[in-house]
Amino acid sequence: MNCPICNHADISEIALKCPECGSDLAQLTMIDQLEEKYVNDVKKRVALEGEQVFLKKEYEKEIKKYRWRTNRLLILVFLIPLFMKYCKKDQGELIYHQQDINALNQNIETLKKENQASKKEIADLKNLVESSNATVKRSVNYTVKKGDRLSELGLLFFNDMKAGYKIGNDNNIWSDYTETHLEPGTVLKINFR
């Protein structure tokens, strides 16, 4: 580095003062460092942009290659059915004989009979399920034990403490007194809804 004041040569890059004239070189050193940093940043940016342009061109080449392949495939997909339609051979056509038609009609009839039989079985099973649902209990008798309360019974049977009020109303025993004092041995009818 050279001193800008006295043109003294061979000054080290980290020197803060000129050994000849004593000028302050700190600002000059900072300017040189900033200039180097800026130049390096610009070089990196240009290199990255060049690489991106190269990658973009490679990508476009790949796209063109795949477009050509796709176009060939689409042409084949549409041309093969057209070829088959217009170049049909006589031996490739299906010929149905009356004997085959009769056999297929018999198969259809047997399938219809099996379908009717399975429908009948389903109806019988539905009736059986409905009759079994009719015999399900909709209520339970519960004998009160010492310390039982209506809210606890509601929690036990309905998973809701407020259901104790319903149990009390169903058995005509609801009051503030009966909430806390149920007689042991009393049979309560618990209706499930």
In which residue are the tokens 């000028």 written?
23
> CA 75, CA 81: separation in Å to the nearest integer?
11
Find all residues with CB under 8 Å of 151, minimum gap 6, and list them: 161, 162, 164, 179
Its sign, for the CA torsion 48, 53, 58, 62, is positive
pLDDT tens sequence for the chain (193 residues) = 778 778 778 877 777 788 888 888 778 778 878 888 888 888 888 888 878 888 888 888 888 888 888 888 888 888 887 777 776 654 455 566 788 888 888 988 999 999 898 889 888 888 887 776 655 557 888 999 988 888 888 899 888 888 888 888 888 887 766 666 788 898 998 888 6
> Three-state SS for 162?
coil
- What's residue 2's pLDDT? 77
Residue type, 180: T
- Whose tokens are 């997909």? That residue is 77
Beta bridge partners of 24: 17
Q: Whole-prediction pTM value? A: 0.31
Angle among Cα 82, 88, 94 to the nearest 5 degrees reads: 120
pLDDT at 94: 57
CA pair distance 187, 141, nearest whole angstrom = 6
The closest of 132, 140, 142, 137 to 182, measured between CA atoms, is 142
Q: Which of 7, 39, 40 is nearest to 21 (CA)?
A: 7
d(CA 24, CA 16): 6
User: Is the Cβ–Cβ distance between 150 and 164 less than 8 Å?
Assistant: yes
The answer to whether 153 and 169 have CB atoms below 8 angstroms apart is: no
